[in-house]
Amino acid sequence: MGTHRNDHSYQLLDSVALDVFRDRSGWSAREELNLLNAIEHFSFGNWKDISQHIGTRSSDEARDEFITRFLEGSIGRVTWPQAATARPVLKDLTHTDSGPLAPEVTSKLPPLDIRPEEASQLDYIPLRDDFELEYDNEAETLVAPLVMNVDDDDLDLALKLAQADMYTHRLRERARRHRVIRDYQLVSQFFSNKEKPKRKISRDEKELEEKMRPVCQFHTAQEHEQFLSKIMRQRELSRRLSELLRYRRNGLTKFEELPHFEQERMARHSANKSGSSATTLMSRHSLGTKRKERSGEAANYSSIPASSTSLTQGNSLPDHPLAGEPSFHLLSQAELQLCTNLELTPTQYISMKTMMLAEPLLKIENPIEQHVHQHLVKNGWIKTS
């Protein structure tokens, strides 16, 4: 070009004001740079903010220019395929959960069955699923005065974040109570209890419901109902098992014997309570006299001769205090004496004897059962090593 001289003609040009692509769009280099910076700052799609950042173009012009030039144009065809192939493939870490606390299960809550007039009484808004006066209604006061300032230091930011976290926890508690209300249908139950008579429940069921009420927040309504029913079932089985064990201790092995046994037990209970049964009084008096006369025989019953173990028929001992008891005729004199000393009925003794003969190695801790076991060992019923 040669050396420039002061008389040469020249023109000042702004390099960023030139049309880089030299087409009909008329976008200058400065506008293209502002477009790319705005896309990076405001993200794709916020065309209103992008156009304000450019200053000389509308939102429609900014959108058309970016899509035409940098996505579908020559620049986009060259750059985007490479970026798509280099993009890392994210691994899907989510998995389906079919447990009782799965989101698919807990999110599907039944709608509240409530009439409009009932909702108005409680200031309840069904479509919004909230109340005019919410639980912890003053929770919003924590974040209402918060303002993020540019000159806030780290301590101010930490304090404001702590307040926001406290507000989040209180909102979660409010949402949890909403879930309990809808799951247990508490609003509809509030009005139904006034109209329908309550189902009569036993005292045990009422005490169990009161005791387990704090646990219902961890269950759904259906789970909590099943939980209570299973506990009541377990208690019923325990009571039934105790009854069967009592029958077995009294020598009963068939269900046909139970009604007769219960009738006799109630009759004896009524007779003992009223004092009108002379036979019962005489038997008790006779047993008391025998115990006084043989106060040391219960501990030293081993002095009874083995020859006395021969069977004795019931009619040969008409004055024996156990003469009226069932299975009296099946015991020997020594066994009858042992039952008298230990205050056992023949049926109870036979039940203990049967159990010990069936399981001779059974560990025995009851003193009465120990006396019976020693008697069986001495008379050769049970062999000891």
Q: What is the pLDDT of residues 157-179, one digit of tens each?
A: 999 999 999 999 998 888 888 88
Q: What is the pTM of this model?
A: 0.34
Q: Is 56 part of any domain?
A: yes
More confident residue, 47 or 298: 47
Are residues 210 and 188 part of one domain? no
Q: Residue 215's domain spans which residues? A: 203-245
User: Measured between alpha carbons, how far apart are the two ends of the chain, in Å?
Assistant: 129
Cβ within 8 Å of residue 13, ≥6 positions away: none
Query: Under a CB-based contact definition with an 8 Å cutoff, are residues 63 and 43 in contact?
Result: no
Are residues 289 and 370 part of one domain? yes
pLDDT greater than 80 at residue 241: yes
Mean pLDDT (the chain, rounded): 77
Are residues 141 and 189 part of one domain? yes
Are residues 129 and 75 part of one domain? no
Range name among 157-161, 198-202, 375-379 with the lowest pLDDT average: 198-202
Indicate the number of domains in the chain. Answer: 4
Are residues 228 and 186 part of one domain? no
Q: Is 260 part of any domain?
A: no
Are residues 372 and 290 part of one domain? yes
Q: Is 266 part of any domain?
A: no
Q: Is 239 part of any domain?
A: yes
Last residue of a domain, one of 166, 195, 224: 195
Q: Which of 253, 227, 203 is nearest to 355 (CA)?
A: 253
Q: Is 279 part of any domain?
A: no
Are residues 369 and 315 part of one domain? yes
Per residue, what are the HEC states of 297-334?
A: CCCCHHHCCHHHHCECCHHHCCCCCCCCCCCHHHCEHH
pLDDT greater than 80 at residue 329: no
Q: Is 354 part of any domain?
A: yes
Are residues 288 and 373 part of one domain? yes
Long-range CB contacts for residues 177-186, cutoff 8 Å, separation at least 24: 177/135, 178/129, 178/130, 179/106, 179/109, 180/216, 180/217, 181/112, 182/109, 182/110, 182/111, 182/112, 182/129, 183/109, 183/110, 183/220, 183/221, 184/216, 184/221, 185/110, 185/112, 185/113, 185/221
Q: Is 49 part of any domain?
A: yes
